[in-house]
């Protein structure tokens, strides 16, 4: 039985880095979405949700263009590091962050929004700063939604294919993730190898989702998870 | 024992608040000015009158369009739109000051209490004093536990305790911060009378040591009578009356107060005679069919013979008898005839024509026992002190 462990390790690395970044960046973004009263907020929300409806190839294509040496970003990166972002692990991370953004931010924002505003008001009257209220009231009461968001971002990054292929190509040890590896095996007519890798990915995804739903059996996050999984 | 004694007595809270709301359904302007001394000040009025908005403005959760709120000579909010002349006649720049909610030091028990569901009773109580050293924090929280009798609940969560207990925790949580004002928004509405009474006793006890102004919002007449040092009657964004509960709810006042307090029977009347020796007077109800009017003995108020006033009588305060009653203390016995019997939920509303038409509330059982029917002759019994006098 052939399993491309290198591809699995790379996938795991990518998923960990991406979910860590999405957790850090997603919290303030979700806070803003949940509490801002800006009238054009819906446009930002729509933009964040785009990856849910867009074919990964479309997203991957534009990320590739943006990272390439003809775009300002690509040129700036090249002048800084001497090589382009496309077909690198960093490029993969950037593409994956954009691709998995809604899967983290939406459950976060849904959880934040469902915290009773009266609790937030009560916290303020008791002398807590907005940051204090966030840490002591909003986050603990959103725990289920936060777990859901991180797990979904992790799982979604693990399973992505189109964006990775567009942005990263298929370089063993650099950009070849498990899903690309499976594709590779099929191309090579090695169905047994494809099957063992696919089975492993299937099991892994099931475990992650089972964890999410298991942890959220009674929590708010279940609603968030449902919202996302219905899209 | 109080955790923290104040050396100086607090000065009163003063507030001048103007705030407009425009929505699709209605336009509403809150425009009030009042001061509250240490002790209870009741904000009484129907829902939608603006009572909660007043509390929100004092707490800083809502921002007035214009006004000034001070406690202990500390300005919490000031907005003087347009740079109007101040009292010295100088022209000043527009004044703006809006102390953030967290820095106001105002204790606020919201209508549904807003206890943190993920924190234990102890953690809830210590929420507002988390920055204190552990020893002092524990000591102050313990004092509140004793004071509000919730020490045995400290490890429990809000979802695991009763409504009355939750109320006590909410009070302890607000008061442990040693606020300069306490705001209570219909805090006891959902509790039974006995529980309510005990909690209020504990709150009074606490305030004897601390002497801070307590703004207490309610729409219950009973709570006003039980609590009131001072009552502000608020309707449609305005203070329409203020004083002691008796002044506001029992003495001559605008008719709006009477309707608000739930008088089903309101009559125009003329003072016929005044009996200071008895502490009563006789008023004649004016009605079309009666030449001389229907005399009623009422409590004595400052009114001249011949002056007009209005009398309010609650339908639930009138007794109904099917025979002429004898040997009773009530001064007013009026004979009449039932013209209408109507069931409303669990009570019977009887309309009795005795020259004027009066509405009387009865229980279902009373209707059965007395075999009441339309056309039956009945005697209405009204105590002197059930007649509430109002200005016309």
B329 belongs to a structural domain: yes
B1 belongs to a structural domain: no
Q: Chain A: nearest CA to B101, how far in angstroms?
A: 6
Q: Is A188 on the interface with B (CB under 8 A)?
A: no
Beta bridge mates, B32: B17
Q: Which of B108, B164, B154 lies closest to A123 in space, CA to CA? A: B108
B248 belongs to a structural domain: no
Higher pLDDT, B385 or A123: A123
> How confident is the model over A18-63, as pLDDT tens digits?
999 999 999 999 999 999 988 899 999 999 998 888 888 888 888 8
CATH of the domain at A215: 1.10.3720.10
Least confident of A73-87, B72-86, B139-153: B72-86
Q: Do B292 and B175 share a structural domain?
A: no
B3 belongs to a structural domain: no
Radius of gyration of chain A (CA): 19
The arithmetic mean of pLDDT across residues B355-360, rounded, is: 88
Q: Do B135 and B205 share a structural domain?
A: yes
Q: Do B328 and B213 share a structural domain?
A: no
Range of the domain at A161: 5-35+44-230
Q: Is B62 on the interface with A (CB under 8 A)?
A: no
Number of domains in chain A: 1
Residue B58: its pLDDT value, please? 94
Residue B249 has pLDDT above 70, yes or no: no
Residue B8: its pLDDT value, please? 42
DSSP per position, chain A: ----HHHHHHHHHHHHHHHHHHHHHHHHHHHHHHH---TTHHHHHHHHHHHHHS-HHHHHHHHHHHHSTTSHHHHHHHHHHSS-STTSHHHHHHHHHHHHHHHHHHHHHHHHHTS-HHHHHHHHHTT--HHHHIIIIIHHHTHHHHHHHHHHHHHHHHH--HHHHHHH---TTTT--HHHHHHHHHHTT-HHHHHHHHHHHHHHHHHHHHHHHHHTTTSTHHHHHHHHHH-
Q: Do B266 and B166 share a structural domain?
A: no
Q: Do B294 and B221 share a structural domain?
A: no
Q: Is the ipTM of this complex over 0.85?
A: no
Q: Is A157 on the interface with B (CB under 8 A)?
A: no
Query: Among residues B199, B217, B243, which one ends one of the domains?
Result: B243
Q: Which of B209, B115, B119, B201 lies closest to B162 in space, CA to CA? A: B115
> How confident is the model over A164-223, as pLDDT tens digits?
888 887 777 777 888 888 888 888 888 888 898 899 888 888 888 888 778 777 554 444
Q: Do B238 and B274 share a structural domain?
A: no
> How confident is the model over B190-228, as pLDDT tens digits?
777 778 888 888 888 888 888 899 999 987 777 777 776
Range of the domain at B267: 255-390
CB contact under 8 A, B128 and A127: yes
Query: Using CB atoms and an 8 Å cut-off, which of residues 111-130 of chain A contact chain B?
Result: 116, 118-119, 121-129
> How confident is the model over B291-316, as pLDDT tens digits?
667 888 988 776 778 888 888 888 88
Query: How high does pLDDT run on average in chain A?
Result: 85
Cα dihedral sign, B299-B300-B306-B308:
negative
Q: Do B282 and B236 share a structural domain?
A: no
The arithmetic mean of pLDDT across residues A101-119, rounded, is: 94
pLDDT confidence tier of residue B94, bands split at 50, 70 and 90: low
User: Which among B108, B117, B130 is the nearest to A125, CB-wise?
Assistant: B108
Query: Among residues B243, B264, B295, which one ends one of the domains?
Result: B243
CB contact under 8 A, A125 and B61: yes
CB contact under 8 A, B108 and A127: no
CATH of the domain at B291: 2.40.50.100
Q: Is B237 on the interface with A (CB under 8 A)?
A: no
B199 belongs to a structural domain: yes
Q: Chain B: nearest CA to A126, how far in angstroms?
A: 5
Q: Do B64 and B100 share a structural domain?
A: yes
B249 belongs to a structural domain: no
User: Which among B100, B101, B114 is the nearest to A118, CB-wise?
Assistant: B114
Q: Do B239 and B269 share a structural domain?
A: no
Residue B290: its pLDDT value, please? 59
CB contact under 8 A, B104 and A125: yes
Q: Do B230 and B323 share a structural domain?
A: no
The arithmetic mean of pLDDT across residues B246-251, rounded, is: 62
B354 belongs to a structural domain: yes
Q: Do B284 and B182 share a structural domain?
A: no
Number of domains in chain B: 2
CATH of the domain at B55: 3.40.50.300
Q: Do B271 and B227 share a structural domain?
A: no
């Amino acid at each position: 039985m052939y399993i491309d462990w290198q591809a699995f390790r790379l996938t795991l690395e990518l998923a960990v880095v991406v979910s860590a970044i999405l957790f850090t960046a997603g919290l303030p973004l979700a806070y803003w979405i949940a509490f801002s009263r800006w009238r054009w907020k819906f446009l930002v929300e729509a933009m964040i949700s785009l990856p849910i409806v867009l074919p990964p190839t479309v997203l991957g294509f534009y990320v590739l263009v943006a990272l390439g040496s003809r775009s300002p970003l690509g040129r700036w990166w090249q002048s800084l590091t001497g090589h382009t972002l496309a077909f690198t692990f960093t490029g993969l991370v950037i593409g994956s962050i954009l691709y998995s953004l809604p899967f983290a931010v939406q459950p976060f924002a849904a959880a934040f929004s469902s915290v009773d505003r009266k609790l937030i008001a009560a916290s303020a009257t008791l002398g807590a700063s907005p940051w204090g209220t966030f840490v002591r009231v909003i986050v603990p009461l959103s725990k289920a939604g936060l777990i859901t968001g991180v797990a979904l971002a992790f799982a979604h990054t693990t399973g992505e294919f189109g964006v990775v292929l567009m942005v990263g190509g298929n370089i063993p040890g650099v950009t070849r993730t498990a899903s690309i590896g499976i594709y590779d095996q099929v191309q090579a007519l090695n169905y047994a190898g494809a099957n063992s890798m696919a089975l492993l990915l299937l099991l892994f995804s099931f475990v992650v989702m089972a964890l999410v739903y298991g942890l959220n059996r009674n929590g708010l996050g279940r609603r968030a998870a449902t919202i996302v999984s219905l899209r | 024992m109080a955790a923290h004694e104040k050396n100086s007595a607090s000065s009163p809270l003063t507030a001048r608040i103007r705030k407009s709301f425009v929505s699709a359904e209605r336009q509403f302007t809150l425009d009030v000015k009042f001061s509250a001394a240490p002790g209870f000040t009741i904000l009484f009025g129907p829902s939608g009158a603006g009572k909660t908005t007043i509390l929100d403005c004092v707490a800083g959760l809502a921002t007035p369009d214009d006004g000034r709120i001070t406690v202990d000579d500390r300005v919490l909010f000031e907005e003087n739109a347009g740079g109007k002349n101040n009292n010295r006649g100088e022209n000043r720049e527009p004044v703006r000051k809006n102390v953030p909610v967290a820095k106001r030091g105002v204790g606020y028990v919201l209508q549904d209490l807003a206890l943190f569901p993920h924190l234990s009773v102890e953690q809830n109580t210590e929420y507002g004093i988390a920055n204190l050293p552990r020893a002092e924090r524990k000591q102050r929280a313990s004092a509140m536990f004793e004071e509000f009798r919730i020490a045995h609940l400290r490890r429990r969560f809000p979802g695991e305790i009763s409504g009355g207990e939750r109320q006590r925790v909410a009070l302890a949580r607000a008061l442990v911060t040693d606020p300069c004002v306490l705001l209570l928004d219909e805090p006891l509405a959902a509790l039974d009378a006995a529980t309510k009474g005990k909690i209020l006793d504990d709150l009074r006890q606490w305030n004897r040591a601390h002497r801070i102004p307590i703004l207490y919002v309610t729409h219950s007449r009973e709570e006003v009578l039980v609590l009131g040092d001072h009552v502000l009657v608020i309707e449609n964004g305005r203070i329409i009356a203020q004083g002691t509960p008796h002044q506001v709810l029992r003495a001559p006042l605008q008719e709006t107060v009477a309707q608000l307090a739930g008088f089903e029977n309101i009559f125009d009347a003329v003072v016929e005679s005044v009996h200071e020796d008895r502490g009563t007077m006789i008023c004649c109800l004016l009605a079309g069919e009666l030449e001389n009017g229907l005399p009623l003995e009422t409590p004595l108020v400052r009114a001249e013979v011949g002056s007009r006033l209005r009398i309010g009588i609650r339908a639930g305060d009138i007794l109904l008898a099917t025979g002429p009653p004898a040997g009773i203390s009530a001064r007013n016995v009026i004979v009449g005839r039932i013209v209408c019997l109507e069931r409303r939920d669990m009570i019977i509303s009887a309309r009795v024509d005795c020259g004027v038409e009066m509405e009387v509330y009865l229980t279902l059982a009373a209707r059965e026992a007395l075999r009441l029917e339309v056309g039956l002759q009945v005697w209405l019994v009204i105590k002197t002190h059930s007649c509430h006098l109002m200005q016309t």
